[in-house]
Structure formats: C-alpha cells, structure tokens
Amino acid sequence: MKKTIVQTALETIQLEAASISGLSSFINEGFDAVIQEIADCKGRIVISGVGKSAIVAQKIVATLNSTGTPALFMHAADAIHGDLGMVQQDDIVLLISKSGESPEIKVLVPLIKNFGNTLIGMVGNTDSYLARSSDIILNTTVSQEACPNNLAPTSSTTAQMVMGDVLAVCLMQINGFSDHDFARYHPGGNLGKRLYLRVADLYKNNESPKVFPDTGLKQVIVEITEKRLGVTAVVNNDNEVTGIITDGDLRRMLEKTNDLSNITAKDIFSPSPKTIEPSMLAVEALELLRKNDISQLIVVEDGRYAGILHIHDLVREGII
C-alpha cells in the first residue's frame, strides 16, 4: 500500500527527531574537551566542510559569531586553492563531514595537521579517516537518513546543526555571555532594539507639550493640537510634573461642563501621571503602557519634565 503524504511527513519528523535525541549519548568527556579547547582558544574557530556539511558550517559560524565566539567559514574545496591562508597559528579548525572520507577532507586534513592547529572532527563515522586524524571528535552519527533511499543528507545534517547549537550555547555559558552582550552584536533588527533601545533614543524626536496649572482651556487645547501627541503635561514653575491632560480628559470635561469660560488646566488634569526616565529600556516603557492601558508616558529626568513618549514611537521602531 502506497504511503500517504501525511505518513511520509510524520515519518520524516520522527527520524529527524531521533537524530537529535541520539546526540545525548555523545555528550561525554570528549564533548567537554571540545568545549574547553574552544573556550581557551586565543584565535578563531575556522569551520569547514563540503556539500551540505559546508552549508551547516556556515550556519554554525554565524551562530558562534553572534554569541561571542569568533568564527570563520572555509570551504574545504577552496581551502586547498588558497583559502587555507585564513588559518592562523592560534586558530582551531573544525571539519564537518558525515562520512569523514570525502576526497576534499582527505586532502585538507594533513595540511591542517602540518600547520599544528588543533583539529576537531564533527563526524558521523567514528571509524573514518577524519575521525582517526582528529585531535578531538564530536560524534554526530545517525542511524538512518530521513531520505526514503537513506542517501540524501537529512537526519545527519539536522544532527550537525543541533550539535553546532549545543556548542554555541555551552560556550555562551562558559563566557558569561549576557543579554547586553547579545545587544552589542545585534544592534539591528527587533531583537537588538529590544535589548538596547532606550527611552532617550525615542522621546527626543517628539514635541514637548506643557502647560501650567492656571493655563486657560483654549491654550490647553491649542497646545495638545499643535504638538500632535494627544496629551500635554502640566508643570509648575520649577518644571516639575503635577499632572497630565489627555484628549480623553478634555472630552470628559466637555460632557460634564456647560460653562467653559473660567476653566483652567488645574480643573482638568489627572494628578500622579505615569512617568518614566530616559535611561530605561524601551521594552520597559512598553510594559508600563500595557499594564496601565495608556498610550503616552511622561519622561522625567532629574525630577524635571523632559518630554513625552508615545506608543507610536515603539510601533515605529518595531518594539511592538
């Protein structure tokens, strides 16, 4: 009976999952030795491979670089045609190969050994040339490829990819790699912004609407309208915040009051508004906005009114 597409999909997932869980038995003293060797490295980690393993190598290089471990990609075929010059004396070389018998690998290994660099083999065959030649082995053996012909690299490349992630995460722990370090390496994109973008980076682009307690209603409306933030701060003569007036406050006042001739800011404002300091992270501002179900925060620096942070500022920067 012919398999259905769903059956094939589920079997593929199961085989790939098995390739990952099988790695647990390879986390041993040899693995610990690899981590310690890389952690003590004074140079870079040069990672190489051929075919699908080369693609995996590029991904591992990207992950290591972004998590604080300097790494370079070197294609095994290009290495023997000049790229081997990127390997420096203090570097560690990590070669990735399922079979450990690829012609390019067999040519490259003796050259690396002659250079005197530590050679780590991430290999799926512990009886292979690469395994025998490596100083340390990372075992990524899988029992079966997810390919129906057991040929195309599928489960094996999944195992390689996960082992690379395991390396990166363990090195992060050893190196004490923090969220602040992550932000330094990811200044672009939403991830980086959530870790480094501060209120001070946002509110200064806005107008700073403010009125005094005795400011008349007309001027209050003009201030809110001209500054286009839907709000104005109410401050005293020392520029200390005493309250806030929003569009909503104006509407509620108009619903309750017929005589508008003598109304001033002190008759409308809401006391004890939510404030935030410029040094706080933008994500902390977002949490405060959401918690209080509001759209603006008053920015206060050294106890004095500094400006307005609007939720649209966070939207514009991709924080939301």
Q: Give the span between the Cα atoms of 127 and 136, in whole angstroms.
A: 13
Instruction: Give the C-alpha separation, 196 to 279, whole Å.
Output: 10
Q: Give the number of C-alpha atoms closer than 13 A to the C-alpha of residue 315, restricted to the C-beta side.
A: 6
Question: What 8-state DSSP symbol labels residue 128?
Answer: S
Please give the annotated binding residues for Zn(2+), written as ranges: 75
31 token code pair: 């693995």
Q: Rounded to whole angstroms, how far apart are CA atoms 186 and 195?
A: 9
Closest-CA residue to 144 (of 19, 243, 21): 19
Contact at 8 Å (CB) between 247 and 281? Answer: no
> Other C-beta atoms within 10 Å of 82: how many?
8
Helix axes of 52-66 and 155-175: crossing angle, nearest 10 degrees: 20
Which residue ranges are tagged as binding site? 75
CA-wise closest residue to 119 among 97, 145, 91, 99: 91
Helix (H) or strand (E) holding 25: none
Structure token digits, residue 104: 């390019």
Question: Backbone dihedral region of 84: left (phi > 0), alpha (psi from -120 to 50 degrees) or beta?
Answer: alpha
